[in-house]
Structure 1
Amino acid sequence: MSKIGNDNLTDTRNQLVNEITLLSNDQFNWKLDEDSWSIAQICHHLVLVEEATLKAITWGLKAGEVTQVERKKIELLILDRTKKLIAPKIVEPDVDSFEIQQIMTLLNDSRKNLMTLLSTVEDKSILAKKSVKHPALGELSLDQWIEQIYLHEQRHIEQIKEIKGLF
């Protein structure tokens, strides 16, 4: 993985942490209505997406064939918040309340697990040569799976800022 990709993962996660750190648990778990997610649920969703991405990358690395796929402009789809994306069941957050520290631990653990996996990839160029089907974006190279993590977090950071503006 490139240093730029690593920097984007780090910078975006730091932005997310900055958005949630000073919230009370009531603010963290506040929902506009029953059909909306709380900030806590958004963060739990981000953890679940990162864990699912880790599984996809692991699976893709183990799959023997090199499969060149065309790079997609995933940032256009992910960052366009005028288009609502429906989360697959596997990455839907729990309906229970969360403590901020609990979510911080989950965020740290999922990122540590991702970085540990990526550190085991000796030839990082293989990440651009192998692919796995993404539920919303179609066939993606493994390096674009990594890219979608921080783009997806950026999308939800904007959502979090909007929710905070409603308190």
Structure 2
Amino acid sequence: MIPSLLVQLNATREQLVKEIELLNNRQFNQKADANSWSIAQICHHLALVEASTIKAIAWGLSSQETTQPERLDVQKITDRTTKLAAPKIVEPTDKPFEVQDMLTLLSETREQLTSFLLGIADPSLLAKKAVKHPAFGPLALDQWIEQVYLHEQRHIEQIQESKTSVS
């Protein structure tokens, strides 16, 4: 289970890096409008989501309760017609970022997530335990992992759109 999830996580991250690595710092930090996030803020949000996901899964694994949580359609997180508000804990900062610093941060959070996942003693528990997700409610821990790359795909689309409005 974990190896296939890591393949998906890595493929999506490679796509994200390709979208941002050639931007200059001005393009990276420019907002399309006052109500939008800059590409830098989108990336910061993704790094924060990844770090929060580790905490959520660790908390869920430490729970004594095992159930057979309902399987949810986490694919719907890629539907950008539904606006989602980011919880405070994963809201990006307003301060500007340099592209290279963000690439480093994204690499670090992905390394942390990968190491954490590979260190899970009993991966079968990921399908037997759930933690409340801000968008889905109670969500099986393995689906928390799946939503990381699906959520990233959602924001890659947003970055692609933002790139057309920043020059």
Length-normalised TM-score, structure 1: 0.96
Aligned position for 1:66: 66
Question: Which runs of at least 4 in structure 1 moved beyond 6 Å after TM superposition?
Answer: none
Q: Where does structure 2 lack aligned partners over 5 or more consecutive residues?
A: none
The answer to whether structure 1 residue 104 and structure 2 residue 117 are counterparts is no
Pairs aligned (count): 166
Amino acid paired to 1:154 = Q
Question: 1:28: which partner in 2?
Answer: 28
**Structure 2 Cα separation of the partners of residues 118 and 19 of structure 1:** 26
Amino acid at match of 2:117: L
Structure-1 residue corresponding to 2:161? 162
Identity %: 59
Is the 2:40–2:102 contact (alpha carbons within 8 Å) kept by the matching residues of 1?
A: yes
Q: Determine the structure 2 residue equivalent to 1:39.
A: 39
Q: How far 1:67 moved relative to its partner? A: 2.0
Structure 2 partner of 1:153: 152
Deviations 1:16-72 (A, max 9, x none): 000000000000001011211000000000000011101000101111111211100
Return the alpha-carbon distance in structure 2 between the equivalents of residues 25 and 73 of structure 1.
Answer: 36
TM-score, length basis structure 2: 0.96
What amino acid is aligned across from residue 123 of structure 1 in structure 2?
Answer: D
Structure 1: which 5+ runs fail to align? none
CA distance in 1, matches of 2:63, 2:107: 28
